[in-house]
Structure 1
């Protein structure tokens, strides 16, 4: 690929370690190209095991010797509120940059990259202010003080699809609990995490409490196995999650894993097609399909199958594909050239090696010769055993499969190694709720789908271990301690 231009003001030659900008141990760097044009945005240093070690040692000092591990909830909340204010002061910068990095439409990027990170800091700061860390209960010999304490140093490993918000889904509860953090950010969005570091520095977060190193799989492996780390919080692929979980098991190290999905949307016989179409932007095609909860398996009743297929194909054809910074755009490019090739591989395989019928999209949109664009793609007559039904595409490629009974639809939805998201579309909400209770997935919408920051988020089966968001997301960053004392403590 030809590099058309360099934007040197976005270069990131250093890491944020121990409260300052640190020179990398090595000389390796990675270029980051704009998803919609293929032009160079900037270059970032790539960390190695020595950089990870420096970051973990800084976090360890801040927890064991520095003030953070001994702060009160009120003291931590005060700093977190300042952190949130610093992020808000630069509103618009993060959303613009992330959209250029990974193709996220700006109308989605603004809430997820400008608003959500600050909101998460505020939410968890308020949570520890109002939720007592100690309770006292009677015991057979007196009283027991039940206490929550921070787990220690957290290694956070985050993906490229929702980079700012997913990073803060780990950073905010960790800081609220009193932990210190090493964030290993994804190279595919190499530039945006440093906005978090700049805001942390402006807010006066003590040195070593938050450290940020950009790195590849080797840096991630170094973080997972580092003896100074107490917990790993990971969001990414199921394949990587298996390796991380195995290593954490070997080390007896706490971990939470938010992994892949192949979510199903069930359109019921009494469902309203217009309601389904209105919800597809959030349930299925959110972030160009580059979303782990994307409901790209649509199950439709045979009695209304043709109607649903035609409507969804028409919706896909009507999507506005183009510059992610244009508010009119509803489908931006894939994040990288490599990822575009992966998505096209699924499309080509379904077209060439299955009986599925292509009814919309299937290639690069006309007139968009630069960047990494693919049209919204829909295949009908996809069998439950087809690769397109089984594997996560992570792009705007939907499969539609017929069913005869709602019991069969639930069985098909559960016939997956994954269990992250799902949705039901029906005129009878109570029926939809009852069906949702039968589906083995962590997040299910009835006639719409959103990410509720106040509720737990995570998956069943190969979609992960543990939950993020809500009060449940805070609990992963605490250890429980029981102190046996006299009845005078009651």
Structure 2
């Protein structure tokens, strides 16, 4: 009998979507364990390096890049429409296997995923159009051609959005794509694969594997992978760089951040909190662009702390299937231990826990941790410098604007930032001075219709917008000399 999760049918997952067909998975058995109940949700068979090899073979032989961009866009549009029709189911299974609240997924998928792929679909033809120039040698056509076979590695914390910002643009550019999603994304990526199958991608255009690290290593080391695009951590990025550098394969790396929210003295705090709270705590802090550092002048620190304490303590922790839940569990025990470790070290170093800082009462099971607010840590403290990927926010103080900007840039990361002020000129000055791929003014980002990515230790390459499609292309100049 087919099992159901909140009304969503879940088959025994022993097949994998490779190059447009369902084939038997030949990897190890894997249990999907609920982060909220710690009970087994489903049993699956993981794909192995055998399926990875088959996916790369089919991608290499694919004629996808030869189709006109209009035809590629038509197929991708069917894929995206199918996904959009399944948003409620996608949110349900994501809550079951990753603990993400359904309220969060509904917002993220509607505005993040749908916004990104609608933008990509609308801009693909223009982004890939030939550019005509003149030269002393003759007329020049500058053409964008597909970069080749793409291996796209996705994290558990937003697979549908990453499909929209990474995979759909690569497909529109004409690149066959092999997706390697996280083992924690089995159920949600099964639904994504079903939508791909319904869209009718031709053979080899798209494969979706939720495999372990050995599958990722096989894919990235294979010389048939022309471009590897990772959303993940620095350790994985270093492995990819080592695996690809010998063959000069291109890489895109989106590696997380320690994003500041710089609050200037003229910013009204009631207005600040409307976007700062979701920007810092959405997804339980398991978001690459989370505003995990709040920067405030010394004179306004106490005023802000009082308001933040009230906001953080008002966040509802609970069952991710409950539409009132704001904070669900962390994805697995390792994520919980990592979060606890950061808070314990901050306390030991003299940090003051203003809110949270422990597992919540009343939860006999689940990887839950209270949304936590800490102040009084040193600028070089572990918590101030490194990504927690959990519901922990640090408040730091600065002396003046110049000091605030130094503090904003005082990490090895450079992914996102927010600036809060009523002065547009001051906002523009601060945005220019902050080293980050995205700076939002009086809100939090990024905008999914514009290119987004990191600087410094947050990686390189851009996703979203027309530029996100162009990232998956190679430029070629064609010079027409005399006689043609």
**TM-score class, shorter:** over 0.9
Q: Does 1:30 align with 2:26?
A: no
Using a 3 Å threshold, how does the CA distance of structure 1 residues 312 and 118 change in structure 2: closer, same or farther?
A: closer
The answer to which of 182-191 and 131-140 deviates more is: 131-140
Which of 384, 404, 411 is equivalent to 1:409? 404
Aligned length: 479
2: CA distance, partners of 1:267 / 1:383: 19
Using a 3 Å threshold, how does the CA distance of structure 1 residues 194 and 9 change in structure 2: closer, same or farther?
A: closer
Q: Does 1:274 align with 2:274?
A: no
Residue by residue over 1:105-142, the C-alpha shift from the partner in whole angstroms, topping out at 9 and shown as x without a partner, is: 22220133466445544432322234453222222122
Q: Does 1:261 align with 2:254?
A: no
Which of 229, 232, 236 is equivalent to 1:236? 232
1: CA distance, partners of 2:471 / 2:160: 20
- State the shift of 1:74 in Å: 1.3
Which secondary structure does the structure 2 equivalent of 1:341 belong to?
Answer: helix
Aligned to 2:49: 49
- State the shift of 1:334 in Å: 0.8
Q: Contact 1:58/1:208 (CA < 8 Å) preserved in 2?
A: yes
Aligned to 1:331: 327
1: CA distance, partners of 2:264 / 2:192: 43
Which secondary structure does the structure 1 equivalent of 2:475 belong to?
Answer: strand
Q: Contact 2:33/2:41 (CA < 8 Å) preserved in 1?
A: yes
2: CA distance, partners of 1:10 / 1:393: 34
Q: Contact 1:83/1:118 (CA < 8 Å) preserved in 2?
A: no
Using a 3 Å threshold, how does the CA distance of structure 1 residues 16 and 115 change in structure 2: closer, same or farther?
A: farther
Structure 2: give runs of 5+ residues left out of the alignment: none
Which of 305, 308, 319 is equivalent to 1:309? 305
2: CA distance, partners of 1:488 / 1:80: 40
Write the mapping of 1:187-198 to structure 2, written as runs, cut at 5 A. 187-198=183-194
- State the shift of 1:24 in Å: 2.2
Using a 3 Å threshold, how does the CA distance of structure 1 residues 253 and 19 change in structure 2: closer, same or farther?
A: same
Q: Does 1:420 align with 2:415?
A: yes
Q: Does 1:162 align with 2:158?
A: yes
1: CA distance, partners of 2:137 / 2:445: 49
Aligned to 2:86: 90
Structure 1: give runs of 5+ residues left out of the alignment: none
Residue by residue over 1:278-306, the C-alpha shift from the partner in whole angstroms, topping out at 9 and shown as x without a partner, is: 11233211111101111111111111111
- State the shift of 1:434 in Å: 1.1
Using a 3 Å threshold, how does the CA distance of structure 1 residues 437 and 115 change in structure 2: closer, same or farther?
A: closer
2: CA distance, partners of 1:25 / 1:291: 32
2: CA distance, partners of 1:113 / 1:30: 27
Which of 96, 119, 134 is equivalent to 1:138? 134
1: CA distance, partners of 2:159 / 2:12: 18
Which secondary structure does the structure 2 equivalent of 1:149 belong to?
Answer: strand
- State the shift of 1:181 in Å: 0.6
Which secondary structure does the structure 2 equivalent of 1:285 belong to?
Answer: helix
2: CA distance, partners of 1:69 / 1:90: 28
1: CA distance, partners of 2:424 / 2:317: 33
The answer to which of 454-463 and 6-15 deviates more is: 6-15
Q: Contact 1:98/1:113 (CA < 8 Å) preserved in 2?
A: no
Q: Contact 1:11/1:191 (CA < 8 Å) preserved in 2?
A: no
Which secondary structure does the structure 1 equivalent of 2:451 belong to?
Answer: coil
